[in-house]
Amino acid sequence: MASRPLASVLFVCVHNAGRSQMAAGFLSHLAGDRIEVRSAGSVPGDQVNPAAVEAMREAGIDISAARPKILTTEAVQASDYVITMGCGDACPVFPGKAYLDWALADPAGQGVESVRPIRDEIRKRVEALIAEIDAGREDAAPSL
């Protein structure tokens, strides 16, 4: 019997081609099916940034099959956490959601050397997010 994910996370950036794809890749890799992962963009690009794909490959995560997707109201409504990365006011806001804005450099048009520090910062933030979600789950668990 499959268990329900602890939470659902939506990563949003403008083109859904770099930061949000790397964050989704890390969260899927590190949390497995414990956390439902989505990503989207307010103005999605044609493809995931090749430098982001390469930087993630170096970290042992393959995001080469990922495709930029348009941000929808439904995706926001279905998520417990909405993490924006430079999309400004394009993201709809609904009560009861946890909204976080991660100020990160945009990897668009940069080489893999410039994308690596962004990737590493995203990993740190994703690890902290997982710890926060896990802590919330522990707080909600009945004590024995």
In CATH terms, 7-139 corresponds, of 2.130.10.10, 3.40.50.150, 3.30.70.1380, 3.40.50.2300, to 3.40.50.2300
Angle between the N-to-C axes of helices 19-31 and 112-140, in degrees from 0 to 180, rounded to the nearest 10: 50
pLDDT number for residue 97: 86
Catalytic annotation on 87?
Answer: yes
User: Can you give the pLDDT of all 144 residues of the chain as single tens digits?
Assistant: 457 888 999 999 989 999 999 999 999 999 999 999 999 998 999 999 999 999 999 999 999 999 999 999 999 999 999 999 976 666 667 778 898 999 999 999 999 999 999 999 999 999 999 999 998 866 554 444
pLDDT number for residue 141: 45
Catalytic annotation on 91?
Answer: yes
Catalytic annotation on 99?
Answer: no
- The structural domains of the chain, with segments of one domain joined by +, span 7-139
pLDDT number for residue 143: 44
Q: What are the tokens at 27? A: 């969260």
Annotated catalytic residue, options 91, 118, 126, 133: 91
